[in-house]
Structure 1
């Protein structure tokens, strides 16, 4: 708990500084500490400990104390015939009191013992499920994080395009003022510039929505400003996997395996309902009776107390229940077989996702290299056309087309980077290593 508090305080101090940057590692760790799904998963693990305590209590001695006080306003009588005479005998005294201490202990109850094993297995299930929940949170945060960065990159690209177009417009404005350019060229440039500014505003709006979505995914206050680091979209060397990669390490498989254990224990517990059970009970108490209020009274006051004690064994042997237990056992077996079908299907899906992730990452890397070359070529074309336009060897249309091609190449490069990073996340997920994103 101290460790969690220290992490939370560190994050609060981190985000309190407006100039600090939000890395993917920071976003993921913040989400794991604050997002509702991750918090509830940890609470489920904590709650499983209490479930174990509850089941364990059934195997421990059950001790209870009882007491009572009765005033018989009208004492019942009984008639006894003795020879030729009838005698009426009073049954009891006006006041009666009792105090009893009882104990019950299960000596053999297969259902209770199986339930204890199931409770411990449930704790392990919730721990694995919490890990799966964390991985799902990490995947969502990583994808959302890269979406925000993509839009920020597109915003930077359009800002550069606006600057370049504004510079060209100013040149044309100067030429027009000196009678060396046509008004239609100046108007076309202004239209292009206005369209770019409109597109920029749309990107600003999209960025705000994506940042809000990211804040929601990590459980951050919507009023908190975030800033992305410059190197988020750098291409990192990521080791590919070969055909021998074992998907059995995936958390999804571990969850299903633990569910199999729980269903097997459920079947055993159901079968145990048909087994004999043996328990011991014991009690010790006092009974008091007399003509006056019995508490704290003595025989001299007409009140008498006597002790009682008993120890016994209870044996219960089910003989016939109409076949209900057999039906329940068969239902439990069907549940086990259904889960085995789910496990086979999950393994097939995970194997497919692994192969698809490798293919997608390779394709994304090829596309990324191609787009990188396109950016360089588009920049060279733009520089050449701009120089030619200044000396009258290129038209304004050529210049605007070159500007558009260069901006498109930059945006395509940004999209290719996003595709690569998303494919990288999917590959990390397929290898069962999403937790590594919390340590980068």
Structure 2
């Protein structure tokens, strides 16, 4: 080996030991499980669903309260500048054949008292109680659905950000090698050990990698911001992703029957509950055609004065006390209830169709996810072998280049081939993890990712 090749070999050996890790940003390491736990506590959609669930409890209490005794106070003050006049038959005062005008009442009238009512029977009330309790179940399931949506979005955003990070690391490693190689070749060119065209080739490749490196760095930050959004995390909070993220503990059967799985999914249970609510609505509408019975009581004081001296204790107030029951029997409502029932029955049928569509979608999601998992497993194995071969080609070409037996163009081509193989491997790994995530979602088992 001549002096030129010895110096080149020594410099390239130093380049091979170069580490770019020192340039990586420092921050708290966030695992996928950490991100999911944070999201289930801080995501806005989950908080809103929990408030709706809390509101359902208040709705139940409100419905129950309508069947409890209703007590209210009443009061009224009226002033009649002109007291109403009525005509009485003259026979009363010995003037037959005539009518005598008489004013009834006083100029100032006041009354105040209490009114009490108690529902005794109403079919709609009892149906409403059941509907309110069912609404509680519906909002509980919707909260679970919101959690599952957040888990999926956070997991997907995390995996995409992680894949971008790995791709950035690949480009970063190659970029740093080219930066050092460019310095070496420029030095060799000054000392007539390298050609100008070789320096230009290195510069072109380095510039291209610099553009990819900047794009990936920006994409990584954007995907981290998307992850923060789904987590409900402030945008100025810094963290790094854990490289050990995996979904490999997911059980993947060879076949998946949607009919066995869909019944366990929160969205399917929510549709079942919604269907039940529509059925209760039909009963409620029909219940309005039943008689209702309520008891009532009124206790009041009344005063009538010619002068405004209502608070003069020397003049009396007169009290009244009434107890009774009120029966209301609907007879004809212009076919309103009939048409309301028909509309409610259509809602039940639409919900049944939605449930059928969900079952079909679940089967499709399971089949597609399992197919993608199988395809990605084979692709990953092929790409891993491809990366290994590309590494061997690059190492051999690098050795030949050090010894002056291979031109720089072959070394650069080998570097590009290695980079493409590593990129393809990263992409297939992402597809595999997303397919796993889709499979877990189709099975309705996303919450297992945080358990």
Map of 1:318 onto structure 2: 330
Map of 1:266 onto structure 2: 281
- The TM-score, its normalising length taken from structure 1, stands at 0.89
- The TM-score, its normalising length taken from structure 2, stands at 0.87
Counterpart-to-counterpart distance in 2, 1:279 and 1:133: 42
- Aligned: 1:28 with 2:39: no
Counterpart-to-counterpart distance in 2, 1:111 and 1:371: 66
Q: How does 1:391-410 map to 2 (within 5 A)?
A: 391-410=403-422
Task: Give the SS at the match of 2:290.
Answer: coil
Give the CA deviation at 1:88: 6.0
Give the CA deviation at 1:260: 0.7
8 Å CA contact 2:162–2:243 kept in 1: the answer is: no
- Structure 2: unaligned runs, 5 residues or longer: 1-25
Counterpart-to-counterpart distance in 2, 1:87 and 1:175: 133
Map of 1:115 onto structure 2: 128
Match of 1:192 among 198, 205, 208: 205
**Shift in CA distance, 97/294, structure 1 to aligned 2, threshold 3 Å:** farther
Map of 1:412 onto structure 2: 424
Counterpart-to-counterpart distance in 2, 1:208 and 1:175: 38
Counterpart-to-counterpart distance in 2, 1:237 and 1:87: 100
Moved more, 174-183 or 244-253: 174-183
Map of 2:229 onto structure 1: 216
Task: Give the SS at the match of 2:282.
Answer: helix
Task: Give the SS at the match of 1:221.
Answer: coil
Map of 1:204 onto structure 2: 217
Match of 1:252 among 247, 263, 267: 267
Counterpart-to-counterpart distance in 2, 1:71 and 1:193: 96
- Aligned: 1:425 with 2:433: no
Map of 1:49 onto structure 2: 57
Map of 1:286 onto structure 2: 301
Give the CA deviation at 1:54: 2.2
Counterpart-to-counterpart distance in 2, 1:21 and 1:41: 29
Counterpart-to-counterpart distance in 2, 1:343 and 1:423: 24
Counterpart-to-counterpart distance in 1, 2:405 and 2:247: 39
Map of 2:189 onto structure 1: 176
**Shift in CA distance, 195/88, structure 1 to aligned 2, threshold 3 Å:** closer
Match of 1:19 among 27, 39, 57: 27
Counterpart-to-counterpart distance in 2, 1:237 and 1:51: 42
CA displacement, residues 122-146 of structure 1 (integer Å, 9 cap, x when unaligned):
1110110111011111111111111
8 Å CA contact 1:288–1:294 kept in 2: the answer is: no
**Shift in CA distance, 87/174, structure 1 to aligned 2, threshold 3 Å:** closer
Give the CA deviation at 1:78: 4.7
Give the CA deviation at 1:292: 5.0
Map of 1:347 onto structure 2: 359
Match of 2:95 among 78, 84, 102: 84
**Shift in CA distance, 166/77, structure 1 to aligned 2, threshold 3 Å:** closer
- Aligned: 1:380 with 2:392: yes
**Shift in CA distance, 180/71, structure 1 to aligned 2, threshold 3 Å:** closer
- Aligned: 1:308 with 2:320: yes
- Aligned: 1:230 with 2:243: yes
Map of 1:68 onto structure 2: 76
CA displacement, residues 366-424 of structure 1 (integer Å, 9 cap, x when unaligned):
21122122111111111100001111221211100110111111111111111111111
Map of 1:243 onto structure 2: 256
Counterpart-to-counterpart distance in 2, 1:176 and 1:146: 44
Counterpart-to-counterpart distance in 2, 1:368 and 1:210: 24
**Shift in CA distance, 331/79, structure 1 to aligned 2, threshold 3 Å:** closer
- Aligned: 1:328 with 2:336: no
Map of 1:144 onto structure 2: 157
8 Å CA contact 1:144–1:210 kept in 2: the answer is: yes
Give the CA deviation at 1:174: 4.6
- Aligned: 1:130 with 2:143: yes
Counterpart-to-counterpart distance in 2, 1:87 and 1:191: 118
**Shift in CA distance, 189/304, structure 1 to aligned 2, threshold 3 Å:** same
CA RMSD between the two structures: 2.1
Give the CA deviation at 1:178: 3.9
- Structure 1: unaligned runs, 5 residues or longer: 1-17
8 Å CA contact 1:59–1:113 kept in 2: the answer is: no
Map of 1:11 onto structure 2: none
**Shift in CA distance, 75/236, structure 1 to aligned 2, threshold 3 Å:** closer
